[in-house]
Structure formats: structure tokens, C-alpha cells
């Protein structure tokens, strides 16, 4: 199965949703001002590739955090493109955030459950 990401085509904010990504498949995430879709992701442990598409109007990134420690992620990049980052993760629960400005506080955060 692939992960379907649909644009909301209207009001800002939003985001959300839960995705379960099969082992070995990239995790596709959409960034908007200011949310991630999906915002809850279930993946299998190992080297996990994130493909972040910036569907917003500002620059964004995606970094994986564990207890406030930055475990890696994409660089900051502008609207209309996609960047990938691979992070090796053991089973556990992680956060993913946008590290630009105060975007995390504005809602650019999600939960990553690694099994």
C-alpha cells in the first residue's frame, strides 16, 4: 500500500492523520504552514527514509527528536520541493518537528512510533 496524501485545498492549519508505513518503504510527509500530514506515523525499526514535501509558503524541515535530542533530519528548504533524510531508529516513541523559528510551537510536530 502507498500512503495517500491529499491536499486540503482551503483552510490553513489542519494536518493530522495517522499513517502506517510498511518496512523498507519511505515515509512521505507533507509540510504546510504550520502542520505535518500525517502527524502520527507508525514505522518499523531500522533505517527509515523520510521524504518531506514542502507544500507550504515558507521554508520548513523535518527532524526526529527523542527526549529533546535531535537525531537527524532534512535541511531547511523552500516551498514546492521535496528533500529526503534517513534516520536509523530503534523501537520506541519519537517526536518529529520543524526546527524553523517557532514552527514547532505553531503546530509543526508529530509523533513517530517505531516498532
When asked if residue 97 is in the footprint of Cu ion (CB under 5 A), the reply is no
Rounded to a whole number of angstroms, the minimum distance from the CB of residue 104 to Cu ion is 8
When asked if residue 32 is in the footprint of Cu ion (CB under 5 A), the reply is no
Using DSSP's 3-state secondary structure scheme, residue 108 falls into coil
When asked if residue 98 is in the footprint of Cu ion (CB under 5 A), the reply is yes
Nearest Cα residue to 70 out of 87, 49, 47: 87
Per-residue buried b or exposed e for 55-66, using 16+ beta carbons within 10 Å of the residue's own CB: bbebbbbbbbbe
Which of 8, 71, 76, 100 touches Cu ion (CB under 5 A)? 100
CA distance 114 to 10: 32
When asked if residue 113 is in the footprint of Cu ion (CB under 5 A), the reply is no
When asked if residue 62 is in the footprint of Cu ion (CB under 5 A), the reply is no
CA distance 66 to 105: 17
When asked if residue 103 is in the footprint of Cu ion (CB under 5 A), the reply is yes
Q: Determine the interface stretch with Cu ion among 18-26, 36-44, 82-90, 93-101 (rule: CB under 5 A).
A: 93-101
Can you name the residues that pair with 96 across neighbouring β-strands? 64, 110
When asked if residue 8 is in the footprint of Cu ion (CB under 5 A), the reply is no
Binding region for Cu ion (CB under 5 A): 60, 98, 100, 103, 108
Amino acid at each position: 500500500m502507498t500512503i495517500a496524501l491529499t491536499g486540503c485545498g482551503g483552510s490553513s492549519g489542519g494536518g493530522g492523520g495517522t499513517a502506517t508505513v510498511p518496512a523498507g518503504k519511505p515515509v512521505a510527509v507533507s509540510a504546510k504552514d504550520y502542520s505535518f500530514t500525517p502527524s502520527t506515523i507508525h514505522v518499523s525499526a531500522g533505517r527509515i527514509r523520510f521524504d518531506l514535501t514542502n507544500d507550504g509558503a515558507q521554508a520548513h524541515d523535518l527532524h526526529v527528536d527523542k527526549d529533546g535530542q535531535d537525531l537527524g533530519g532534512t535541511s531547511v528548504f523552500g516551498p514546492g520541493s521535496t528533500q529526503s533524510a534517513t534516520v536509523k531508529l530503534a523501537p520506541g516513541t519519537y517526536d518529529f518537528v520543524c526546527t524553523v523559528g517557532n514552527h514547532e510551537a505553531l503546530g509543526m510536530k508529530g509523533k513517530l512510533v517505531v516498532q
